[in-house]
Structure 1
Amino acid sequence: MTPDEIRTDKPLAGKTILMSGGSRGIGLAIALRAARDGANIALLAKTDTPHPKLEGTVHTAAEQIRAAGGRALPIVGDVRNDDDITEAVLKTQGEFDGIDIVINNASVIDLSGSLDLSSKKYDLMQDVNVRGTFLLSRTALPILKESGNPHILSLSPPLNTTPKWLGAHTGYSLAKFGMTMATLGIAAEFAKDGIAANTLWPATTIATAAVKYALGGDRMMKVSRTPEIYADAAYEVLVQPAREYTGQTLIVEDVLRDAGITDFSGYAATPGTPDSELYPDIFLD
């Protein structure tokens, strides 16, 4: 079954999402899926003007969100900047009268080994991935407490801290595991307030700019799945009862199977590619 055959209602209608990043790729796909329900989506992103290599800005993303049926608030800012985070939270609350969901999508990837990874890039990954996740979530928490079904969702992997994954790219592993630890910590700390906090990670690589430029070029793109599989899984997480569905490190495909979605063939970036030929994502054995 497909996602649209599973759900005909619109549980995210009128809900407000604050997302870091989201100008393109997975974040934009998640935003567009929520927009189809009529959600309000605020994007905190740096992409005010077009990138020479990458498609999309925060403004073009907002246009697509509106075209899909949602309301959009593009906010030009940097998740590394405390004032920008505070401004984004306050602007979102002011525009949409609350915040129901925070999605920690912004992330930096560099798979260099420890001797080749620059200090500047190490700091950037820690600042965006870990610090950004913690501070955006923390700043929104007082407003999330007022929501009827508050969720925090971070796009980060399970804590598979084996020598294989810690040693493969130590700096990046620290940054992604840090996102997960921040999220799980918030889940435990604020469970009493009914705020769900979970992470979500795909079993296969996803056809995004990060995969193209950091993992393996066009060849890797061809053996990946589309961002829509991540978006459909995120949607299923965000409509769950927050008090009952929290503190989990979730896998995209498992979430979809639990929702009754069993046919993944439509998500292949190259139509007709069998599952056995798709490239497995990092951090999963």
Structure 2
Amino acid sequence: MNLNGKTLFITGASRGIGLAIAKRAARDGANIVIAAKTTEANPKLPGTIHTAAAEIEAAGGKALAVQTDIRDEASVLAAVEQAVQAFGGIDILVNNASAISLTSTPDTPMKRFDLMFGVNVRGTYLCTQACLPQLIASAKAGRNPHVLTMSPPLSMKPHWFQNHVAYTMAKYGMSECTLGHAAEFKPHGIAVNSLWPRTAIATAALQMIPGVDIARCRKPEILADAAYLILTSDATTTTGNFFIDDTLLGERGVTDLDQYSVTPGTKQFIPDFFVD
């Protein structure tokens, strides 16, 4: 099974992990809907929906760049409609867009709180709801529909909350969507899973956080390859999982994880959050 001719609606695909997943799918000849906000280049955060489209098409796919605010219902519904007009439907939704603020309660302004919940929780829920009719149609057509959300396994340990309560709640809200939607959509034959990295991933956004040693990170391609394995799995049997990138790759026979290291030979990576 591959992704040739499949249509993926990927949020936040203008750069980083979302773009890496898009380019991996593009190698099969997939159609990619880039649902992201950035249309003008930012020197601190390179990548726009238009530069992403060019990279996706260079990798072998077809790209549709749609400026989208996933917090806004009208914006998301319009993006879905454009996707359907361009490609005839949607087979895969990747909820990748996310906002982060690793701040304590006194240091988290409500504007930042609202942004994280708007993008992470509302955005994930809204995009899933908006794409659902297309995913149901994809299932009826035997096209193996998937929802994949970039969010962590759920854990009620205080350790994961105490230093950034708002961010943890917002990411876990995404994971709760996976938990609930996997059960809700199972009768339709739609897979719903989450994927999360064991280590910090070298992205432009991460480089904006002071003190992060990028040399001790892995590349976004590890998540792209792990996502590919999930999205090419049988949707009727591979659902309701919280996958960790390197564990999944290892289980599928990928033994050379060093290829994903920013610095080959690295043994001590910066661990990501939420993985016990």
The answer as to 2:204 corresponding to 1:206 is no
Q: Secondary structure at the match of 1:130?
A: helix
Q: Secondary structure in 1 aligned to 2:222?
A: helix
Partner residue, 2:145: 150
The answer as to 2:44 corresponding to 1:49 is no
1:52 shift after superposition: 2.8
1:270 corresponds in structure 2 to: 263
Pairwise CA distance, 1:216:
3.1
Query: For 1:29-68, what aligned pairs fall within 5 Å after superposition?
Result: 29-68=20-59
Q: Aligned AA for 1:171?
A: A
Percent identity over the alignment? 50
Q: Letter of the aligned partner of 1:31 in structure 2?
A: A
Q: Which residue of 2 aligns with 1:4?
A: none
Post-superposition offset of 1:161: 2.0
Does residue 88 (structure 1) correspond to residue 83 (structure 2)? The answer is no
Q: Is the aligned partner of 1:257 residue 2:250?
A: yes
CA deviations on 1:146-176 (whole Å, 9 max, x unpaired) are: 1120000000000022010011210000000
Q: Deviations over 1:115-160 (max 9, x none)?
A: 1100000000000000000010111101101112000000000002
| Match for residue 193 of structure 1 among 182, 188, 195 | 188
Aligned to 1:134: 125
**DSSP 3-state at the match of 1:64:** helix
Distance 2:174 2:66 in 1: 22
- Structure 1 gaps, min length 5: 1-9
Instruction: Indicate the SS of the match to 1:19.
Output: strand
- Aligned match for 1:12, one of 3, 11, 30: 3
Residue 280 of structure 1 deviates from its aligned partner by 1.0
2:97 counterpart residue number:
106
Q: What SS does the corresponding residue of 2:201 show, helix, strand or coil?
A: coil
Aligned structure 1 segments of 4 or more residues deviating by more than 4 angstroms: none
1:215 is displaced (CA, Å) by 6.2
Q: Which of 222, 238, 244 lines up with 2:237 in the alignment? A: 244
Task: Name the CA distance, whole Å, in 2 between partners of 1:53 and 1:202.
Answer: 24
Alpha-carbon contact 2:45-2:205 (below 8 Å) kept: no
> Does the residue aligned with 2:239 lie in a helix, a strand or coil?
coil
CA distance in 2, matches of 1:130, 1:121: 14
| Structure-1 separation of matches of 2:209 and 2:177 | 25
Shift of 1:271: 2.2
User: What code does the residue aligned with 1:222 have?
Assistant: A
SS in 1 for 2:8: strand
1:212 Cα offset (Å): 1.8
For residues 18 and 48 of structure 1, the distance between their equivalents in structure 2, rounded to whole angstroms, comes to 17
User: Does the 8 Å CA contact 1:20/1:43 hold for their aligned counterparts?
Assistant: yes
Are residue 159 (structure 1) and residue 154 (structure 2) matched?
yes
SS of equivalent residue, structure 2 residue 137: coil
CA contact (8 A) 2:46 2:204 kept: no
Give the aligned partner of residue 282 of structure 1. Answer: 273
Coordinate RMSD, CA, aligned: 1.0
Q: Is the aligned partner of 1:124 residue 2:124?
A: no
The TM-score, its normalising length taken from structure 1, stands at 0.93
Alpha-carbon distance in 2 for matches of 1:235, 1:94: 25
TM-score under structure 2 normalisation?
0.96
Which consecutive residues of structure 2, in runs of 5 or more, have no partner in the other structure?
none
Task: For residue 209 of structure 1, report the CA deviation from its aligned partner.
Answer: 2.3
